[in-house]
Structure 1
Amino acid sequence: MQGTQLSFFPNEEEHNPTKKQKKPKLGRYERIKRELEKNDSDPYKVFIDVDKLPISSSKYTFVDLFCGAGGITQGLVQAGFQPLASVEVSPIASATHQRNFPQSHHFCGDIEQFYAQNWLEQIGSPEVHLVVGGPPCQGFSVAGKRDPKDPRNRLFYEFVRVVSEIRPWYVVMENVPGILTIQKGNVKQAIIEAFESIGYPNISVAILESAAYGVPQIRPRAIFIANRFGMQNPYPKPQLSPEEYKPIESAIADLPAYTPIPEINHEWTKHSPEYMERIAQVPPGGSLYEKFVDAFKRQYPGKPSMTVKENHGGTHIHPYLNRVISAREMARLQTFPDTFIFEGTMKKAMWQIGNAVPPRLAECIGYALISNLNNITQKTNTRVNINNL
């Protein structure tokens, strides 16, 4: 491979192949999960076996806020849901979403400018069964109060506003597990109170490990679920034990080693021969750099991928090859199908992929919801009755 780009970082440190590398902690959120489960007395949270695929009584619809490239949308479509609309501020991510879901109405812009009621009227006021999304929730001040000047805070409350206008049957909100411990749990409490204030009491939260649902990657997510009927909040039961998690090779072994395929985003950062020689000395779990340890880590062979993310072009190193993984390899580790094409440059594609929710995880969440959605449908014969519940 030929190339001229040797480093993405200032003040590059000399690589020392003899220095012992620190291995990443794959179970970094296990403590949070254990504490959540230990102190959990939520009677509304229930885990559903989704190995036997449920049959939908209706074509359930959803709106995806902060949709990004469309990881949640892809997963819910795979579960049989119908996308009605999406909202995303990034033009590149919006272009990707529109390319892959042309049947969905799409709003590209600030969510503050998205007026749900006006939009619903324009498309015939359809029933919305589900609103999903992953708004930033880190902008809370101490004691769960909010700082109106913090843009991340504003975005979370815009999510709540749109939910209050649409009034879906169920709400699913995702975030990183660390959101549960910020401000000693006050952020979590503020999230719960915000949904309670708009008629979604008894909100539940669980940490779901993506690898437990067949995603070949360690990627835990905090999932909040709420409904406005006082019903249970269903989550998918884990399908795999840690010993059964899919290894990285199961997703990427068949892709060409050093032949790019731009048509499916199989592209990666080009390296000079000298740079490839340095990469060759990086052991599994180690990094090319001592200071920028989150970039240029070599993946472990025979294990699920470490959490993938775009790091200014410094994605993880392939478990066997002397190059970083490609955008398509990242997408496969996220469980995007090869037919899902990302718009923009290679780095923009990697950014979109690294920020996405694994479609397979979203698919399983969708399957878990179907039984409860069926129950609501069976108990209610008219839309008027639904709105009165």
Structure 2
Amino acid sequence: MRFIDVFAGCGGLSLGLLNAGCHGVAAIEKNPMAFETLRHNLIDGKRFKFEWPDWLPRKAMTCEQFMDDYKSRISELAGTIDLMVGGPPCQGFSTAGRRNPADPRNKMAEQYLELVKIIRPNYIVIENVSGFNSRFNEEKKTSAADEKYIKRSYADYISEELSGLGYKVSRGKINCAVFGVPQNRYRYLIICAKEEVKENLFEELIKSACGFKKSKGLDFDRSVTVHDAIADLETTNKKLIPSTDSTMKRFWEIEYKAPDVLSPYLKVMREGCSGVPNSLRLPNHKPDTIVQFVKFRQASEPGKSLSKKARDLLGLKKHAITVLARNYPSPTITTLPDDIIHYSEPRILTARETARIQSFPDWFEFTGKYTTGGKSRKLDCPRYTQIGNAVPPLLSEAIGSMLLARAEQEQILLEPLTAMDS
């Protein structure tokens, strides 16, 4: 099953599909930092390599640039692509921010639809935040062009457009924790098939969850916890050494040694990696910050966002901050590292710990700076942002496995007919 990944980020969707047995053809991502991580690991990686077209530069570009500069060549892909996936930028839909129908990033989903019309893939998967299926408030409409997003959700709009193109559309909201991700991350999926299908592919995906977890060696009747995911990365009783992959001085990381006995989830994360994962740099908190984190733990219920009353008492202006609950999945990993505090240590998580909670394996190397600030925040996509924006690879692998199993079943059904024809 050959796929194209649009709005690919650092490669969470692509990684899961490749692990499932699909073959990458091309990936479109506009941010150079995120694209470099994707290229380094998957396009030109040691474990995976995309079947990249000779005419397409291996560099960051927008979906609009891709279609404007290579439209004549893109049409050559028509009929050769089985699956097109993508997670159009979601800031305009997110219930965590200011939902705005006029946000120009919303229009990127329409570019995705234009690409569908040219390539005509057999299957389409669109992943977005759960707010993707919520209507915008009437008073936020800024122009007549926004009318289609006011009367219906953007998910409704896109689904109707895809149905008009001849696709059977199935969709719904899922919790990534169902597929073994140690995180309660609710996402909205639209899964489409070009040919006439009786099955609801979204429901097929949900039904496959238990079997998928068992295939990964995970307990199907319990959620993976943050302790399962990151216990071996705690600093307690560990030797600290200078950070090995940071350009900034005076940062430390643990001297990592894999445990003798791996938890089922850690076996998944460590598969294919016999050495030390990258992105282990520990935060360099000021003493006052550490004291503040201790107060957060005392004032909060682990696993739940600090209440407004507690925030007011602590003089905290930040709206969302959560101390992890050791024996439960994490809340949604975001692009802001100070949204979450470690369950037993007064610090934010390392980039590798957030990657583990997102289900990125240890061999996957994140590139570029760790964080950014000021005016650069709108342009840069450092490691924490790459990880927070990504689709959890375990969810993507479950999607790929479900579609491959369905394609294989179709082939089995077709073989008797082929034999009769011959």
TM range (shorter): 0.7 to 0.9
When residues 172 and 289 of structure 1 are mapped into structure 2, their CA distance, relative to the original with a 3 A threshold, is: farther
Q: What percent identity do the matched residue pairs reach?
A: 32
Give the unaligned 5+ runs of structure 1: 1-59, 141-146, 382-389
Q: CA deviation at 1:118?
A: 4.1
2:352 aligned counterpart, secondary structure: helix
Q: CA deviation at 1:375?
A: 4.1
Q: Are residue 73 (structure 1) and residue 98 (structure 2) matched?
A: no
Structure 2 letter corresponding to 1:169 = N
Asked whether the 8 Å contact 1:68–1:356 carries over to 2, the reply is yes
Give the structure 1 partner of residue 165 of structure 2: 198
In structure 1, what is the Cα distance between the partners aligned to 2:160 and 2:36? 34
Give the structure 2 partner of residue 306 of structure 1: 331
Matches within 5 A, 1:112-151: 112-115=64-67, 118-120=72-74, 127-136=80-89, 151=104
Give the structure 1 partner of residue 273 of structure 2: none
Give the structure 2 partner of residue 291 of structure 1: 317
When residues 360 and 289 of structure 1 are mapped into structure 2, their CA distance, relative to the original with a 3 A threshold, is: farther
2:323 aligned counterpart, secondary structure: coil
Q: Are residue 345 (structure 1) and residue 359 (structure 2) matched?
A: no
When residues 216 and 137 of structure 1 are mapped into structure 2, their CA distance, relative to the original with a 3 A threshold, is: closer
Matches within 5 A, 1:186-265: 186-200=153-167, 202-231=168-197, 232=199, 233=201, 234-237=204-207, 238-239=209-210, 244-257=222-235, 259=240, 262-263=244-245, 264-265=278-279
Q: CA deviation at 1:168?
A: 1.0
When residues 138 and 91 of structure 1 are mapped into structure 2, their CA distance, relative to the original with a 3 A threshold, is: closer
Q: CA deviation at 1:358?
A: 0.4
Asked whether the 8 Å contact 1:76–1:362 carries over to 2, the reply is yes
Q: CA deviation at 1:293?
A: 2.8
Q: CA deviation at 1:96?
A: 0.5
Structure 2 letter corresponding to 1:74 = L
Q: CA deviation at 1:206?
A: 1.8
In structure 2, what is the Cα distance between the partners aligned to 1:302 and 1:274? 28
Give the structure 2 partner of residue 316 of structure 1: 340
Q: Which has the higher contact order (CA 8 A, sep 6+)?
A: 1
Give the structure 2 partner of residue 38 of structure 1: none
Give the structure 1 partner of residue 406 of structure 2: 372
Q: Are residue 279 (structure 1) and residue 293 (structure 2) matched?
A: yes
Structure 2 letter corresponding to 1:81 = C
Structure 2 letter corresponding to 1:113 = Q
RMSD: 2.9
**TM-score w.r.t. length of structure 1:** 0.73
Structure 1, residues 16-44: CA drift from partner, whole Å, max 9, x if none?
A: xxxxxxxxxxxxxxxxxxxxxxxxxxxxx
In structure 2, what is the Cα distance between the partners aligned to 1:194 and 1:148? 18
- 1 or 2, which has the higher helix percentage? 2
Give the structure 2 partner of residue 37 of structure 1: none
1:254 aligned counterpart, secondary structure: helix
When residues 175 and 289 of structure 1 are mapped into structure 2, their CA distance, relative to the original with a 3 A threshold, is: farther
Give the structure 1 partner of residue 27 of structure 2: 86
In structure 2, what is the Cα distance between the partners aligned to 1:117 and 1:192? 24
**TM-score w.r.t. length of structure 2:** 0.68
Q: CA deviation at 1:302?
A: 1.0
Q: Are residue 173 (structure 1) and residue 144 (structure 2) matched?
A: no
Q: CA deviation at 1:181?
A: 1.9
Asked whether the 8 Å contact 1:87–1:108 carries over to 2, the reply is yes
In structure 1, what is the Cα distance between the partners aligned to 2:110 and 2:356? 33
In structure 1, what is the Cα distance between the partners aligned to 2:17 and 2:316? 40
When residues 330 and 194 of structure 1 are mapped into structure 2, their CA distance, relative to the original with a 3 A threshold, is: same
When residues 206 and 107 of structure 1 are mapped into structure 2, their CA distance, relative to the original with a 3 A threshold, is: farther
Structure 1, residues 183-205: CA drift from partner, whole Å, max 9, x if none?
A: 464423211121123232x3110
Structure 2 letter corresponding to 1:66 = F
In structure 1, what is the Cα distance between the partners aligned to 2:316 and 2:288? 18
1:203 aligned counterpart, secondary structure: strand
When residues 320 and 79 of structure 1 are mapped into structure 2, their CA distance, relative to the original with a 3 A threshold, is: same
Structure 1, residues 62-115: CA drift from partner, whole Å, max 9, x if none?
A: 110000000001111111111111000011000110001112234511111213
Structure 1 letter corresponding to 2:231 = A
In structure 2, what is the Cα distance between the partners aligned to 1:222 and 1:179? 7
Structure 1, residues 117-149: CA drift from partner, whole Å, max 9, x if none?
A: 644578x87721100001146769xxxxxx997
In structure 2, what is the Cα distance between the partners aligned to 1:148 and 1:181? 11
2:188 aligned counterpart, secondary structure: strand
